Structure 1
Amino acid sequence: MTTPLTLTPDRRPDGTPVLTAVGEIDMSNSADLAAAVADGLEGATGPLVIDLTDVEYLDSAGLSILLTHADRIEVVATPLLAPVLTFCGLTDLTTIHGLGPAGPAS
């Protein structure tokens, strides 16, 4: 059974690609995330912004995808995901926005 996840690609007015995720990211749908990230990075000259503000759960399968592309992405998250993003080291590898006053790159 696949966990519900909606992935919506978009672009900011300046042309920056944005991928917005809503739901939960786990092993059952991580291939969808990987494909969407690859599509978002294709032809991009700058970073792909991955918006995780409406993600309620992120497991190691999703983290693996983010870590693989850490040099080409920026992440927008909420304090809910701060512990897992920090523990896996992603906060040291890429820019993460929205973690609040206690987290990196608020």
Structure 2
Amino acid sequence: MTTQLSLNTGRRPDGALALTAVGEIDMSNAAVFAEALAEAVAQSEPRPVVIDLTEVEYIDSAGLASLFQHVERIHLLAGPLLAPVLTISGLAGLTTVDGS
């Protein structure tokens, strides 16, 4: 069974491309997330993509692996539930992570 995940791409007021995820990212939907992430990174060249994870309640290692693949091209927004996971995983040391 696939876990509920909604993905939307749009432009922020500053012109940066943003990929917004809502729900949970786990092995059941990580491939969909990875595909949307790769597409957003390709579209935003040469600017980083803002990955808005403020409404993500859970992310497993499959979802984190997708983020690690693009660490040099992303800027993460995370809520209080996810920020510690991004720090412990090492992502916060490799890319910008802003809290909400």
State the TM-score, normalized to the length of structure 2: 0.94
> Relative CO higher for 1 or 2, CA cutoff 8 Å, sep ≥ 6?
2
Q: Which segments of 5 or more consecutive residues in structure 2 lack a partner in the other structure?
A: none
Where does structure 1 differ by over 6 angstroms across 4 or more consecutive aligned residues? none
CA distance in 1, matches of 2:13, 2:81: 28
Residue 14 of structure 1, CA deviation: 2.8
Q: Which residue in 2 is equivalent to 1:27?
A: 27
Q: Which segments of 5 or more consecutive residues in structure 1 lack a partner in the other structure?
A: 100-106
Instruction: Work out the number of aligned pairs and report it.
Output: 99
State the TM-score, normalized to the length of structure 1: 0.89
Q: Which residue in 1 is equivalent to 2:61?
A: 60
Tell me the amino acid that sits aligned with residue 35 of structure 1.
E
Q: Which residue in 1 is equivalent to 2:86?
A: 85
Residue 35 of structure 1, CA deviation: 0.8
Check if 1:76 corresponds to 2:77. Answer: yes
Question: Percent identity over the alignment?
Answer: 59
CA displacement, residues 12-37 of structure 1 (integer Å, 9 cap, x when unaligned)? 13321000000000000001111111
Please report the RMSD computed on the Cα atoms of aligned residues, expressed in angstroms: 1.1
